Structure 1
Amino acid sequence: MSSVVAIVFFVTCILGLSIAFAFGLAGLVGLWMSGLPVEMLASKMMFAVNSFPLLAIPFFMLAGELMVRGGIVAVAIEFANTLIGRVRGSLGHVTILSGLGLASVSGTAVADAAALGGALMKPLGNSYGRPFGAALIAATGNLGPILPPSTAMIVYATIVGPELSLPALFIAGVLPAVLIAGLMIFYVYFAARWRGFPLLGNPFSFGEFARVGFRSLPVLMLPVIVIGGIMGGVFTATEGGAIAAVFSLLLGLFYTRQLKLSDIPVCLLHAGLATGVVTVIIAFASTVTFIFSIDHLPLLLRTTIESMTSDPTMFLILIFLMLVVIGMFMESTAAYVMLVPIFAPMALAYGIEPLHFALVFILTLIVGMLTPPVGVLLFVMVGISGLKISQIVKEVWPYILIQFGVTLGALFFPSIFLFLPKLAGY
C-alpha cells in the first residue's frame, strides 16, 4: 500500500498538481486501500495543525512583512554598510549581515530572499553582475530557517513533541548560521579580488558608525528581545512571534514612519497566504504519514537500515545522503511532516541525541532550497532578477558546498555544535 501511495504522490507532482494536494490525493488513495473511512482525512488534517507552537509561524511571517514595508530592513542594511566600510566585496558582506539580521526576526527563507532581493538586487547586479548577486541573495535567504526563530525548527519540534526542546534547537542553530555566514563572507571577499569587483562604500569611520548605530539601536534591539526572551524562557516561541509582530508594527509606524495604516491589510494578507501554504502542506502530508505508519513502513525501514549498519555515525551518513536527494525534489516542510515521524524514533534507537539528529536533519534539508531542479529560492530569484535559472545555478554552487560542509561538521562533531545548548543548560 505504501508503494502505491508514493507512486500516486510522485505521478501527480510530475503532472503539475501542487505538492499539498498531491499529498491529499495520495492520502485519500491510501485510506481507500486500507478500508478506512474517508472522513478520517479531515480528522488527521485537523489534528496535524491543531498545535499551539505552530501559531508562531504566522506571527513571524507578519513580523517579516512589517519589517520590509516599515523600512526596518533598510535601517539594518544602512547599519551593516557603515560597519563594513570600504573593503573588497563590501556590498556582498552587507547583504550577508543584513540577511542575518532579517533572519533573526522572520525565520523564513523565501520571505528573507524576497526582502533582500527587493532592496539589494539592483545594486548588486550593477556592481558584481546579476547572476552573482542573485545567487548571493538566495544563499543569504537560506540563513532564515537556520537562525532562530526558524520556522523549520518550529515545525520539526512540533512534530517530534516534548522530547525535543525548541529553545535548545534554536540555540543549536546559532553556531551553524554564524559559520555559514562567515564562510560566505570569506568566499565573497576572495571572489571579489579574483574577479576584480570594484571597491564600494566609504572607509570605516567610528563617528559615522556610532551615529548610525545609535539611530539603528531600536531596530537592533528587536532580535535581541525576541530571541533572548525565547531562549531565556521568558516567553514561548509563539508569544515571541506576537511580540516581534507588535514591535515591528510600532517601529514601522512611529520610529521609521514608513509604515502606513493602509499597508497593514496587505501585510496581513501576505503573511496569511504564506502561512496558509505551510499549513496546508502540513495538514495533507500528515495523512500520508498516517498511511505509512499503519502500513508498518517505519518498521520496514528500520529493519532495512539496521541490516545495513549498526553504527550511529553511518546511520547519520545514510540519512544525510537520502535527505540530499529528497531535498532536491521535495519541499522541505512536506519532507519534515512525512519523514521526521519515521526517522526520529530510529535515531533514538541508534542512541543518537534528539537535538543532534534534529540539527543534522534540518541543516541537510534546508540546502535543498538552493539545489536544482526544485530549489525554491532559485525560482524566487528568477522572478526578482529576470535571469534564467541556469545562470543562477552556475553561481550558487560555492554556497551550496559551504552549507553542506557545515552540515557535515555538525554530523561528525556534535560536541562542538551542541556546545551552546549545553552551556545554556539543555
Structure 2
Amino acid sequence: MIALGAGFFIFLLIGVPIAFVFGISALIAVWSADLPLVVIAHRFYAGLNDFTLMAIPFFLLAGMLMDEGGLSKRIIDFAHALLGWVTGSLLMVSVIASTVIAAMSGSGSADTAVVSAVMQPELKRRNYNVDFSAALIATAGTLAQIIPPSMMLVLIGVLNNLSIGALFLAGIIPGLLVVPGLLFLAWWHARSGGEQYRATESFSLAKLGSTFLYAVPALSLGVIVSGGIFSGMFTPTEAAAVAVLYTILIGKFVYGDLRLSVIPGIILKAGGFTAGIMILVGGATVFNWLMAVEGLPDMVAGWLQATVSSPWTFLLIVNIFLMIFGMPMESIAMVLLLSPVVIQAGIGYGLDPIHVATVFVFNSVIGMITPPFGGTLFVAAIVAKRPISAVTRHIYWPWAVMTVVLLLITYIPELVLALPRTAGFLK
C-alpha cells in the first residue's frame, strides 16, 4: 500500500499524465509485492471487458455528428426563436441550447464546444461580455455529464456495479434544477449590462413554429435514446449505437448538412478521445483492485463510521473533500479513483448507492468549472479566444448556483431517487 500511494502522489506531483499515473503506480506496487506482472495485464483487460463501456465511443461519436450534421444548429435556432425577444436573450439561448444538447451528447466538453462555436460570434457582434458568456456556457455545458446519457454516469455505474438506467433517471432532476439558476444569472447580468443586452427582435409565433418543425428531427434524438433506455427497449450501449445511426440519417437525408466524406475523420477523432478514456479506465481498474486487496475501502469506511456518526455529516465531509479534490484533478479520473471508496463508505451509513453516486458525479461536474483544470472552462475560453484567467473571474456566481443544487440533492435524497423509484429501479 505504501508503494502504491507513494508512487501515485509522486508521479502526480511531477506532472505525469493521470492516465499513466494509475498504471505506473500499480506496476511499482505489484513489483514491490513480488506479484507476477501478468496480473496487471489481466486486471487492465478485465476492467475494459464490459459491454456497457461501448456506450462511451458511440455517444462521443453521436455528439460530434450532431454538430457536423446540423442537428445542434437547429436546436439553437429553435431556442433563439423561443427566447430571442427577452433581455439577455443570447445568454438564455446558450443555457437552453446547452441543456437540450446535453440530453443527447453525453459529453460536457463537446456540448460546451458546440454551443460556444455557434453562439460566441453573435455574442461578440452584439457586444455582450464575452468572458461572462464563456463562464455561463461552460457551466451549462457541464449538464451533459449529469443529464442522461451521461458518459460519467456510465463510468461510475460500470465501476461500482450500479444500474445505468437508475443512474440516468437519478441525474435528470439535479441537472434540470441548475437551469433556472443559470437563466436567472443571465437575466440579472443583462439587466444591468447596458443597451446591448436589450431584445433586438419581437416574439414571432410563426418563427417559433417553423424553427420547432425544423428542430423536431433533432429533438427526437433525445426522446429515442432516453425513451429506449427507460422502456427497456435498448441497453445504454444499444441506445448509443442507435443515436449514431439516427444522427447520420437525419444529418444526411433530412438536413442535408452531413457529408459522408467527413465521417471517417470524425470516427478517428472519437476513437482518439475514447482511447484516452479507456487507458484511464483500465489503469484505474488495476489501481482500485490493488486498493481493494489491501483493504483500503474497508479501512476508510471503518474509520469514518468510528469518527463520524451522522450520515449527513459524512455527506458534508465528502462534498467538501470532493470540491477541493476536483480543482486539481480531472473529473473522470476522480470518479475512477475515489468513487468506489466513497460509495462503499456511504452504504455503511445506510445511504442508497444511487444517491451517493449521483452526488459524487455532481461534485465531479462542478470540478469541470473550477480552476486550475476545469475542463469545460478551458474549452469555453479557447473557443471564445479569451485568457482562462479572464473567464475564471466570472465563474463564481455560476459556481454558486451549482453548489446550491449540490446541497439540495445531498440533503433531499428524493430529488435524486424519486424518478428511479417511480420507474421501478429502486424499492
Q: Give the letter for the 1:84 counterpart.
A: L
Provide the residue aligned with 1:290 in structure 2: 289
Q: Give the letter for the 1:149 counterpart.
A: P
Provide the residue aligned with 1:40 in structure 2: 39
Structure 1 residue 122: Cα displacement: 2.0
Q: Distance in 1 between matches of 2:138 and 2:199?
A: 22
Q: Which runs of 5+ in 2 are unaligned?
A: none
The answer as to 2:177 corresponding to 1:141 is no
Q: Distance in 2 between matches of 1:359 and 1:77?
A: 28
Q: Deviations over 1:367-394 (max 9, x none)?
A: 0011111112222223222222111111
Q: Distance in 1 between matches of 2:379 and 2:107?
A: 13
Provide the residue aligned with 1:383 in structure 2: 382
Provide the residue aligned with 1:181 in structure 2: 179
Matching of residues 153-172 of structure 1 within 5 Å: 153-161=153-161, 164-172=162-170
Q: Distance in 1 between matches of 2:147 and 2:30?
A: 38
Aligned partners of 1:81 and 1:201 also within 8 Å:
no
Aligned partners of 1:85 and 1:204 also within 8 Å:
yes
Q: Distance in 2 between matches of 1:185 and 1:146?
A: 18
Q: Distance in 1 between matches of 2:93 and 2:247?
A: 21
Aligned partner of residue 382 in structure 2, secondary structure: helix
Provide the residue aligned with 2:315 in structure 1: 316
The answer as to 2:128 corresponding to 1:132 is no
Q: Distance in 2 between matches of 1:308 and 1:368?
A: 27
Q: Deviations over 1:43-75 (max 9, x none)?
A: 111111111111111111010010011111111
Q: How many positions carry a matched residue from both structures?
A: 423
Matching of residues 14-413 of structure 1 within 5 Å: 14-126=13-125, 127-161=127-161, 164-196=162-194, 197-413=196-412
Aligned partners of 1:103 and 1:112 also within 8 Å:
yes
Deviates more, 1:339-348 or 1:217-226: 339-348
Change (3 A) 1:400 1:245: same
Please give the TM-score of this superposition, normalised by the length of structure 1: 0.96
Aligned partners of 1:125 and 1:133 also within 8 Å:
no
Q: Distance in 1 between matches of 2:6 and 2:68?
A: 43
Aligned partners of 2:301 and 2:344 also within 8 Å:
no
Q: Percent of pairs identical after alignment?
A: 34
Q: Give the letter for the 2:354 counterpart.
A: L
Q: Deviations over 1:130-180 (max 9, x none)?
A: 21121122111101101100010000110111xx32112111111111110
Q: Give the letter for the 2:159 counterpart.
A: I
Provide the residue aligned with 1:8 in structure 2: 7
Aligned partner of residue 265 in structure 1, secondary structure: helix
Q: Give the letter for the 2:89 counterpart.
A: S
Deviates more, 1:250-259 or 1:333-342: 333-342
Q: Which runs of 5+ in 1 are unaligned?
A: none
Aligned partners of 1:329 and 1:374 also within 8 Å:
yes
Q: Distance in 2 between matches of 1:303 and 1:420?
A: 31
Q: CA RMSD in A?
A: 1.4
Deviates more, 1:344-353 or 1:116-125: 116-125
Aligned partner of residue 143 in structure 2, secondary structure: coil
Q: Distance in 2 between matches of 1:346 and 1:15?
A: 30
Structure 1 residue 343: Cα displacement: 2.1
Please give the TM-score of this superposition, normalised by the length of structure 2: 0.96
Moved over 6 A (4+): none
Q: Deviations over 1:332-370 (max 9, x none)?
A: 222222222222222111100111111111111110011
Aligned partner of residue 393 in structure 2, secondary structure: helix
Aligned partners of 1:91 and 1:200 also within 8 Å:
no
Q: Distance in 2 between matches of 1:201 and 1:11?
A: 56
Q: Distance in 2 between matches of 1:140 and 1:153?
A: 17
Aligned partners of 1:79 and 1:213 also within 8 Å:
yes
Structure 1 residue 221: Cα displacement: 1.0
